[in-house]
Amino acid sequence: MRYRTLGPSGLLVSELCLGTMTFGGSEGMWGQIGKLRQDEADSLVRAAFDAGINFIDTANVYAGGESERILGQTIRNLGIPRDEVVIATKVLGVMGEGPNARGASRGHIMAQAKASLQRLQMDHIDLYQIHGFDPLTPITETLEALDTLVRQGHLRYVGLSNWAAWQIVKAVGIAEASKLAPILSLQAYYTLVGRDLEREIVPMLQAEGLGLMVWSPLAGGFLSGKYSDGNTANDGRRASFDFPPVDLERGDAAIAVMREIASARGCTVAQVALAWLLHQPVVTSVIVGAKRIEQLQDNIRSTEVALTAEDLAALDTVTRLPAEYPGWMLERQSQYRATFASQKG
């Protein structure tokens, strides 16, 4: 297991992060995603920690807070020292009946951070993330609330999730200008069959030096290969919870190339998908969830898969995004200066 600094900080996190969306579900969407009980969660976290994973991600909305509660109890049950694990959680979603029991307002953030701490049985959260963009709340209000919690010692670092590039840059600029707690990271969807991030967000993250945590790296199980070629695989999560959306024609073409690489490398299709992400310079940590220890261990072995330049080129060719404005125009016009620089050199 390798470790990387999270954005512009000295915080080292493992290149794989354990996602806990499978903890505590009972019915509805959360039951479809996972119903792991306390003893099962204990075993999963133990296996992850023993493999070198020091980074665990949850959210207050996962199973209505049950995921946080189970995770907090697990850390205690296993006797894992608090300073040896980096705990990330999130706020934004619906946590009550009223109109203010959701969003990124100061009131909701302050209340939910303390509720999360209580469920986690901890005195601080290492990384607190705004789970999405709230169009009703001024970004400054959100950032000032986060800064207050950092100054109070309840939070160590702050990040965002599922924000557009312009929204992130605006938040980064406000935080810098107002000397508020800086934005360290973005948690976002990024896979071989979902490379939309590369149009605007990846260049922005690299320019600003922010970290990237990847959620759903197997595209809801699609990149395990068991859903390709028209196979619905009714025993998997996508059969009942078809998310994130995938272009099946492009997806099947990608799976075909991945099968060839997996066969040559002696690994699984899922490991190729995870290894591709770990080879992307912009990626800090890839969030892997699991229902079984065997599934988690299979994902962990992706850290041992070394893709060649030829492998990466083949995967890029079959999954590359089609050219889109203004990207193709920016590339064309940048040649004016690039050509001059090469001649001068």
The angle formed by the CA atoms of residues 159, 25 and 236, to the nearest 5 degrees, is: 95
| Coil vs helix vs strand at 79 | coil
Query: CB atoms < 10 A from the CB of 179, how many?
Result: 8
Torsion of CA 71, 72, 75, 81, to 10 degrees: 140
Residues 266-291, buried b or exposed e (16+ Cβ, 10 A)? ebbbbbbbbbbbbebebbbbbbbbbb
Q: What string of DSSP letters covers 194-210?
A: B-GGGTTHHHHHHHHT-
313 by Cβ neighbours in 10 Å (0-12 / 13-18 / 19+) ranks as exposed
- Alpha helices (H) in the chain, listed in sequence order: 28-33, 38-50, 66-78, 106-120, 139-151, 165-178, 201-208, 248-265, 269-278, 293-300, 309-319, 327-344
Would you say 85 and 63 are in contact if contact means Cβ atoms under 8 Å apart? no
* Cβ atoms of residues 125 and 156 within 8 Å: yes
Q: Which of 3, 62, 189, 336 is the catalytic position?
A: 62
CA 294 to CA 104: how far, in whole Å? 37
Neighbours of 114 (CB within 10 A): 13
Taking the alpha carbons at both ends of the chain, their separation in whole angstroms is 41
- Residue given tokens 């320019």 in the structure block: 207
Q: Is 190 a catalytic residue?
A: no
* DSSP summary character for residue 1: -
Catalytic machinery residues? 62
